[in-house]
Amino acid sequence: MILGRKLRPGALAGGGEADSALSHCAYCPKLCTFMCPVSRETRRETHSPWGKQTTLFEIARGMLPLGREYVEPIFACTNCHACTSVCDHDIDVTVSLLAGRARVLEAGMLPDPLRVLLRNQPDREAEARRNVAALAGVIGPSRAARTVLFPGCAAALEDPAMVRAALAITRAIDGDSTAAFQDLCCGLPYLLAGDVSGFMEAARKLAEEARAWKTIVVLDPGCAWTLGKLYPEHGLELQAEVTTLVEYVLPHLHRFVRRSNPKGPVFYHDPCHLGRGLGVYDPPREILLRLVAGGARDLSLTRDSEPCCGGGGAIPESMPHVASGAASRLAATLRGEGARTVVTACPTCRAHLLDQEGLKVVDLVTLLAEAL
Ligand code: SF4
Ligand code: SF4
């Protein structure tokens, strides 16, 4: 697993481990700056991993006030884990920034776009639940089912067809798997806006519902990272086994037959939470070897070094110009290396890369469902 040293949100000002991680960054010669998609777009040192950690370090030590001018860097992170992947000290900047966001919310200084995100989240969840219920025909616990699909709210809202494809896959592999989760938010949107209690409430609801299942198949890598990484850090252990859809499919690849080939050359894009976050690099490539003639190509900077699409960390809400700049930069890199089609395994990456000129974006779940 790639992620290194952890800071529990809320531990920011408490000294000890939290203070030590911030100190590492504050006194570091900025070894990870070149990896950060945010400072690459803004060209501001305060948006580099070092700059963000140093801002938090100085706030925690009382050297800077928690004023509005210092809030912005705390939200200038896509949660891509790229800095951690090159850090000799395994510092997980994302977790200390989440702790910083919680402190900003407590101080009543949450930026407006994140205030709106928090206000709209219950309505988004209700709409996601309606979409999945309409698609699946069944939602919520079923006595027969042992495996359940957790689509996550992003896919359910933005790409219900992807959820339909994922249900077709899980049903083909395990006929009893006819259900989708009723509570469709893993809680990550709350945490990204600093709302730790909102996150815990969503997580506890999910953990309670999960007691009915043996295996939870997670479609969205961001949700899988949250369930697999953030829940244990917050003291929540799920009784069910949690697996990503690509890992779930892998032992059953013989059931899938290539029907057509996307327009080539075809490249694969590693989603940050799936790759650097969970260390799941090989399963999507093995699936693509079966579904695409000759498999998919990698960028020259790939796996740990794969560029971020800019879609995570609530950056599309808080810094939309950075989010679209990162997506355009990634698309230009893909085109520059010869890609006509890019396949990804994340609903957020797919949505974020759509509409890039000269590049077709295909999601792996749809490809798999077509090959059933
Ligand atoms: S994350 Fe690691 S490499 Fe980056 S600034 Fe902190 S200590 Fe340095
Ligand atoms: S996680 Fe990604 S966006 Fe956040 S500071 Fe590190 S490199 Fe930058």
Q: What is the pLDDT of residues 278-296, one digit of tens each?
A: 999 999 999 999 999 999 9
6 pLDDT higher than 80 = no
Using a 6 Å cutoff on CB, does residue 91 contact ligand 1?
A: yes
* Sheet hosting strand 266-269, strand order edge to edge: 266-269, 341-344, 360-363
Domain boundaries, the chain: 16-106, 112-251, 253-370
Q: How far apart are CA 236 and CA 199, in angstroms?
A: 11
Read off the pLDDT of each residue in 314-320 and give the average, rounded to a whole number: 97
CA–centroid distance, 33 to ligand 1, in Å, is: 8
pLDDT, one tens digit per residue, over 163-174 is: 999 989 998 998
Look at residues 29, 19, 11 and name the one whose alpha carbon lies nearest to residue 87: 29
CATH architecture of 112-251: Up-down Bundle (1.20)
Q: How do residues 122-145 score in pLDDT, each as one tens digit?
A: 999 999 988 888 886 655 556 567
Pairwise CA distance, residues 113 & 117, whole Å: 6
Q: Does residue 16 register a pLDDT over 60?
A: no
| Bond prior to 265 in cis (omega within 30° of 0) | yes
CB 221 within 8 A of CB 243: no
Q: Does the Cβ of 93 fall within 6 Å of ligand 2?
A: yes
Domain 112-251 and domain 253-370 have a common topology:
no
32 lines ligand 1 (CB under 6 A): yes
Q: Which atom of ligand 1 is the closest one to the Cα of 90? A: 2
- Which ligand places an atom closest to the C-alpha of 24? 1
For 255-268, what is each residue's pLDDT tens digit?
999 988 898 899 99
Question: Confidence class of residue 181 from pLDDT cuts 50, 70 and 90?
Answer: confident
Res. 360: pLDDT tops 70: yes
pTM: 0.93
Q: Can you tell me the mean pLDDT for 201-215?
A: 90
Token duo for residue 292: 């695409």
Task: Using the predicted structure, report yes or no on whether residue 162 has a pLDDT greater than 60.
Answer: yes
- CATH code, residues 253-370: 3.40.50
Band of pLDDT at residue 3, cut at 50, 70 and 90: very low
Separation of CA 299 and ligand 2 centre (Å): 20
Are the C-beta atoms of 179 and 141 separated by less than 8 Å? yes
Residue whose Cα lies nearest atom 6 of ligand 2: it is 83
